[in-house]
Amino acid sequence: MSQTAFFASGCFWGTQYHLDKTPGVIETHVGYTGGHGENPTYEEVCRGKTGHVEAVEVLYDETKTNYETLATLFFETHDPTQTDGQGPDIGSQYHSVIFYTNDEQKMIAEKLIKQLENKGMNIATIIKPAATFWRGEQYHEKYYEKRGGSPYCHIYTKRF
């Protein structure tokens, strides 16, 4: 059976890059969520006027992976302590946000944050209920896969 998760951890190119490599992930899509206004464009989101963040929608097979595995990867592939963006990407569209679709996802996200805080980290990640997800422009999909290279802001760092 498939489930859906939504993660925002800075530029969606790097977030998608890591999630796509996870066994059990069926597909991912880049897009925008969490703000106001319908069908936002990349340019509108980058101007910071919509309140949307760059995010990734993840469809996964729960018989092959689980939400906790994906959420752990989310925390280990970006800096969840950065408040103003991610790496050199500065702006509200790059905030660290988990958009949960049910109470179990929310509890797992809160548990992981508590574990990181117990290790002395000041976590900036926001946990919010999922909102409408607007798919991004096609040229953003699978960016690193199309162009080669690897993410500059999303370097794997073991935290758990």
Kindly give the interhelix angle for 67-76 and 103-118, rounded to the nearest 10 degrees: 40
The residue from 5, 9, 10, 11 that is catalytic is: 11
- For the chain, the average pLDDT equals 96
Is pLDDT above 90 for 149?
no
Residue 153 annotated as catalytic: no
Q: Which amino acid is at 91?
A: G
Over residues 84-125, the pLDDT tens digits come to 899 889 999 999 999 999 999 999 999 999 999 999 999 999
Among 81-85, 118-122, 127-131, which stretch is predicted with the lowest mean pLDDT? Answer: 81-85
The topology (CATH level 3) of 2-147 is Peptide Methionine Sulfoxide Reductase; Chain A (3.30.1060)
Instruction: Give the whole-angstrom CA distance, residue 67 versus residue 76.
Output: 14
In this predicted structure, what is the pLDDT of residue 21? 95
Is 46 exposed, middle or buried (CB count within 10 Å of its CB: 0-12, 13-18, 19+)?
Answer: middle
> Can you name the residues that pair with 59 across neighbouring β-strands?
4, 27
| Spans of all domains in the chain | 2-147
